[in-house]
Amino acid sequence: MNITIGDKFLIAALLILNGWLFASWGVGFSKGDWVVVTVNQKETIRLPLDQDQKTHVKGPIGLTEIEVKNGHARIIRSPCKNKVCIKSGYIRYADRLAACIPNRVVIRIVGKSHRGVDAVIG
């Protein structure tokens, strides 16, 4: 297969466009400032991300323990069966989340510049 001059021009234009998009919009990793904990879609607690601490929230099936440490947050204990929320590990950037679906607990990092929803699944 031969690459024509038109193909080379198209590749160069796409590379330039990609570079411009990254320079203009960034890569989307904005610093987080707060950990927002919701239970049953209601904000229960808001923790500063710059203070190390642990807290518990009560969900429909029991207590979920949340840890904030070194600017990161994670779920460390939960009454759910598969423990996927614990295995998901630390989150630290704005608009990232970890969730214990069976216990209806969601922890989300928020920052000063909120990007909004990435996708909606219905």
pLDDT digits (tens, 9 = 90+) for 12-54: 999 999 888 777 766 566 778 899 999 999 999 999 999 999 9
Domains in the chain, start-ordered, CATH in brackets?
A: 34-110 (2.60.320.10)
CA dist list (Å): 90 to 2, 15, 86, 96, 97: 47, 33, 9, 10, 9
Q: What pLDDT is recorded for position 32?
A: 84
Tell me if 91 sits within 8 A of 4, measured CB to CB: no
E strands along 60-96, which residues?
62-69, 72-77
Token output for 70: 């070194």
The reported pLDDT for the residue numbered 122 is 45
Encode pLDDT of 66-104 as tens digits.
999 999 999 999 999 999 999 989 998 888 899 999 999
